[in-house]
């Protein structure tokens, strides 16, 4: 069955739209917590697709992607909270956050142009850590980030008088805060999916893929590898910045803890686990890796009670254990990811790998 | 001046620990091009095993020296078994997989090991039993302890042993051959599987020794301690040029000293604007600066396009 064609057909689009529309209401029957989890799943789809540009298309292994997310989140948090008494509108902050993240991307990209593969990975990782350490410590002598306590009471997303927090009545429907964010995030995710699809087969996208496959050959056929690598970093970073801004507004709270290396690794795992460079795969990876730990959170405790009548092991660590094992097993049996692109599958078969 | 000397000594001690852990990363990387993210976790398990074994032996009334030695041996054996199992179960099936696949596996194994350790040893900080006598020395205004001297000596001896193994034995030759070209090495009769397994086992044994020393030095241990240590050690390996044994040793020591000096002087350098809690950024800033000018590390050979 050809999923690609299915999703492009009218029936497919209609069905997908219907499911996307119904999802937050179905989830709400299990409580608003599940709608929130859905929100995060889509936020991670957004992030993973941003990283997919850098890692999947251009082949630059970035282990510090969360830094750009942090830049976006803190831009929003500082400019729209009582911390500095500023309450800028979304029209100003979101582009500014994206712009600053983009700048950070170029800042990281420019000294690392010569580096390859794993050297690049460790430098990006270091960059991510540097950003986190600064966020953690910039509360003295001048209090900029409020240190490990983070920033609270951040303004929600609002367009004029329409706020995304709290419940509002629209056409007789009562929409809760997380549900409203859900629709905002879906809209943004669709936008980033379209950008990704358009990029993939554009001149730029093909140049990125050429760099990914063989940088020297790409240079030899006249691709400006320097500018294109910087562009990949900048573009991926701006997506991270936008996602960070929304995250900040949605949570109402940010602290450096949300931007640890583990988060970068998780986003990378989403891209690789789903199928690097393949958009549906990346979406699948992001949704699975967000929802699976939550399902486990609610699942492992009661399951243990049912099976053994008591809590044998701490559910929190069991949950992470199962999660780690799942990563290992998927990679063991689907080395190219759960849903790799057809070309990649063919390559793997041909080379007998 | 005495602060300078003091920080050099502290850095040397910390650096020798980094160096031992970095060797585990660099051996595996040199031979199979894999960042074994779970290596820090192996070190952590080494420390925790020592706590259990040595702690219970001391409680049973054994002399501290015997208990300490038994703890060290237990840690080394457990870590060797763990390293072997990691390679056999997690990485060997992926040897021909796409490049990022084993990286995700390594991260998965790291999460698994951390949580296993939490289930076994709990989520609290554990006290490491005092295995070495506490003695202080003074030299030119700087203080150092018996523990520090022993850490430096033990790592120097371990690293010397490793160099002998790699450059003077048949197994070492097989390892170097595999690192250069696995396909040709196997045509020359080298058993690649055995060599790779050996790299993991030896690397893990070094990690266990490092784990015991970390425990002795800081006197506490925790199931999450492996992560940052592993990260720093990996940074050290890259700094020296990953895949290069001498590079990992020097990279580790250099990193330790830079960190210690940085932590000692950052306040003065920035006029009090940045305090010593910025210590952790030094490792990464130095790394980025070095790689800008020497993209394959201080002592690394120029690598081909492996990305």
Q: Is pLDDT of A327 > 70? A: yes
Q: What is the pLDDT of residues B41-73, one digit of tens each?
A: 999 999 999 999 999 999 888 888 899 999 999
* Interchain contact A217–B (C-beta under 8 A): no
Length of chain B: 307
Tell me whether residue B9 is in a domain. no
Say what the pLDDT of residue A116 is: 74
* Interchain contact A107–B (C-beta under 8 A): no
Tell me whether residue B177 is in a domain. yes
Residue B97: pLDDT band by 50, 70, 90 thresholds? confident
A117 with B307: Cβ contact below 8 A: yes
Residue A349: pLDDT band by 50, 70, 90 thresholds? low
Residue B147 sits in which domain range?
Answer: 17-224
B94 with A326: Cβ contact below 8 A: no
- Which tokens is A117 given? 């593969």
Q: What is the pLDDT of residues B246-293, one digit of tens each?
A: 899 999 999 999 888 888 777 777 666 666 677 778 888 888 888 888
Strand A80-81, strand A86-87: pairing: antiparallel
Higher-confidence residue of A91 and A98: namely: A98
* Interchain contact A59–B (C-beta under 8 A): yes
Coil vs helix vs strand at A336? coil
Say what the pLDDT of residue A277 is: 83
C-alpha A304: how far from chain center: 32
Tokens 């592993």 belong to residue? B230
pTM of the model: 0.86
A121 with B35: Cβ contact below 8 A: yes
- Which tokens is A55 given? 């890692």
Q: Tell me how crowded residue A18 is: count the other CB atoms within 10 A of its CB.
A: 10
Residue B306: pLDDT band by 50, 70, 90 thresholds? very low
Compute chain A's Rg from CA coordinates.
21
Chain A (307-326) residues lying within 8 Å, Cβ to Cβ, of chain B: 313-314, 317-318, 320-321, 323-326
Give the 3-state secondary structure percentages of chain A, helix then strand then coil, rounded to 5: 75, 5, 25
Q: Is pLDDT of A142 > 90? A: no
Q: What is the pLDDT of residues B101-136, one digit of tens each?
A: 888 899 899 999 999 999 899 888 998 888 887 788
How many structural domains compose chain B? Answer: 1
Higher-confidence residue of A301 and A47: namely: A47
* CA–CA dist A345, A351 (Å, integer): 10
Give residue limits of the domains in chain A: 18-278
Q: If residue A153 lies in a helix (H) or strand (E), which one and from where to where?
A: none
Q: Tell me how crowded residue A87 is: count the other CB atoms within 10 A of its CB.
A: 12
Tokens 């130095």 belong to residue? B286
Residues in chain B within 8 Å Cβ distance of A59: 307
* CA–CA dist B191, B172 (Å, integer): 12
Q: Averaged over A277-292, what is the pLDDT?
A: 89
- Which tokens is A234 given? 């900048």
A215 with B103: Cβ contact below 8 A: no
Q: Where are the beta strands (DSSP E) in chain B?
A: 126-127, 136-139, 142-145, 220-221
Tell me whether residue B2 is in a domain. no
Higher-confidence residue of B109 and A118: namely: B109
ipTM value: 0.85
B114 with A320: Cβ contact below 8 A: yes
Cα distances (Å, whole numbers) of residue A288 to A23, A228, B54, B158: 15, 31, 43, 44
Residue A228: pLDDT band by 50, 70, 90 thresholds? very high
Closest CA to A51 of A326, A337, A269: A269
Residue A348: pLDDT band by 50, 70, 90 thresholds? low
Q: Is pLDDT of B204 > 90? A: yes
% residues pLDDT > 70 (chain A): 91
What DSSP designation does A151 have?
Answer: B
Q: Is pLDDT of B303 > 70? A: no
Say what the pLDDT of residue A92 is: 85
* Interchain contact A120–B (C-beta under 8 A): yes
Residues facing residue A158 across a β-bridge: A163
* CA–CA dist A122, B231 (Å, integer): 9
% residues pLDDT > 90 (chain B): 48
* Interchain contact A292–B (C-beta under 8 A): no
Nearest to B303 among A111, A116, A321 (CB): A116
Coil vs helix vs strand at B221? strand
Residue A6: pLDDT band by 50, 70, 90 thresholds? low
Closest CA to B298 of B251, B261, B234: B251
Nearest to A123 among B281, B287, B305 (CB): B287
Q: Averaged over B299-307, what is the pLDDT?
A: 54
* CA dihedral for B33, B37, B40, B42, sign (positive or negative): negative
Q: What is the pLDDT of residues B151-191, one digit of tens each?
A: 999 999 999 999 999 999 999 999 999 998 889 999 999 99
Q: What is the pLDDT of residues A185-227, one digit of tens each?
A: 998 899 989 988 888 889 999 999 999 888 899 999 999 999 9
Q: Tell me how crowded residue B40 is: count the other CB atoms within 10 A of its CB.
A: 28
Residue A153: pLDDT band by 50, 70, 90 thresholds? confident
* CA–CA dist B272, B266 (Å, integer): 8
Say what the pLDDT of residue A1 is: 46
Q: Tell me how crowded residue B254 is: count the other CB atoms within 10 A of its CB.
A: 21
């Amino acid at each position: 069955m050809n999923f690609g064609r299915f999703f492009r057909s009218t029936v497919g689009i209609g069905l997908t739209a219907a499911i996307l529309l119904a999802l937050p209401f179905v989830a709400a029957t299990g409580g608003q917590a599940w709608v929130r989890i859905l929100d995060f799943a889509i936020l991670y789809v957004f992030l993973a697709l941003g990283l997919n540009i850098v890692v999947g298309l251009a082949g630059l292994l970035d282990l510090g992607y969360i830094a750009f997310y942090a830049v976006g989140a803190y831009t929003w948090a500082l400019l729209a909270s009582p911390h500095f008494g500023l309450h800028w509108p979304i029209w100003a902050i979101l582009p500014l956050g994206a712009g600053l993240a983009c700048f950070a991307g170029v800042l990281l990209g420019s000294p690392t142009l010569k580096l390859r593969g794993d050297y690049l990975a460790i430098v990006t990782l270091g960059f991510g850590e540097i950003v986190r350490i600064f966020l953690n410590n910039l509360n003295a002598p001048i209090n900029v980030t409020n240190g490990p306590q983070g920033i609270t009471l951040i303004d929600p997303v609002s367009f004029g008088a329409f706020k995304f927090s709290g419940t509002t009545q629209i056409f007789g429907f009562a929409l809760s805060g997380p549900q409203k964010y859900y629709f905002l995030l879906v809209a943004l995710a669709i936008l980033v999916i379209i950008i990704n699809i358009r990029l993939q087969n554009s001149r730029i996208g093909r140049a990125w893929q050429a760099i990914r496959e063989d940088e020297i050959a790409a240079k030899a056929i006249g691709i400006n590898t320097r500018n294109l690598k910087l562009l990949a970093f900048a573009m991926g970073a701006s997506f991270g910045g936008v996602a960070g801004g929304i995250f900040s507004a949605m949570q109402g709270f940010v602290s450096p803890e949300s931007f640890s290396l583990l988060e970068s690794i998780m986003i990378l795992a989403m891209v690789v686990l789903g199928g690097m460079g393949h958009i549906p795969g990346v979406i699948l990876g992001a949704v699975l890796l967000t929802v699976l730990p939550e399902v486990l959170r609610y699942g492992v405790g009661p399951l243990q009670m049912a099976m053994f009548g008591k809590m044998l092991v701490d559910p929190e660590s069991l949950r992470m254990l199962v999660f780690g094992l799942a990563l290992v097993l998927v990679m063991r049996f689907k080395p190219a990811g759960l849903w790799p692109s057809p070309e990649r599958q063919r390559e793997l078969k041909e080379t007998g790998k | 001046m005495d602060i300078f000397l003091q920080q050099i000594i502290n850095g040397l001690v910390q650096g020798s620990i980094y160096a031992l852990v970095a060797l585990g990363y660099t051996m595996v990387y040199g031979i199979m091009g894999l960042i074994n993210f779970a290596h820090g976790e192996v070190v952590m398990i080494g420390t925790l095993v020592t706590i259990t074994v040595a702690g219970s032996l001391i409680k049973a009334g054994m002399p501290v020296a015997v208990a300490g030695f038994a703890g060290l041996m237990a840690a080394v054996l457990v870590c060797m078994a763990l390293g072997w199992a990691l390679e056999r179960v997690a990485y060997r099936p992926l040897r021909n997989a796409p490049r990022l696949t084993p990286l995700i596996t390594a991260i998965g194994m790291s999460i698994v090991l951390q949580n296993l350790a939490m289930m076994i040893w709990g989520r609290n900080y554990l006290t490491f039993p005092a295995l070495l006598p506490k003695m202080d020395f003074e030299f030119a205004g700087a203080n150092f302890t018996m523990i520090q001297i022993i850490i430096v000596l033990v790592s120097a001896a371990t690293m010397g042993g490793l160099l002998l193994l790699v450059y003077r034995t048949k197994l070492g030759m097989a390892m170097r051959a595999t690192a250069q070209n696995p396909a040709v090495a196997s045509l020359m009769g080298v058993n690649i599987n055995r060599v790779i397994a050996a790299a993991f086992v030896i690397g893990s044994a070094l990690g266990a020794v490092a784990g015991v020393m970390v425990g002795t030095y800081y006197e506490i241990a925790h199931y999450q301690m492996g992560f940052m240590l592993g990260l720093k050690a990996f940074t050290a390996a890259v700094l020296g040029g990953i895949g290069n044994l001498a590079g990992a040793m020097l990279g580790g020591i250099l990193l330790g000293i830079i960190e210690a000096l940085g932590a000692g002087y950052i306040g003065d350098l920035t006029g009090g604007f940045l305090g010593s809690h910025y210590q952790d950024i030094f490792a990464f800033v130095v790394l980025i600066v070095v790689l800008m000018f020497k993209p394959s590390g201080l002592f690394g050979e120029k690598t081909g396009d492996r990305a």
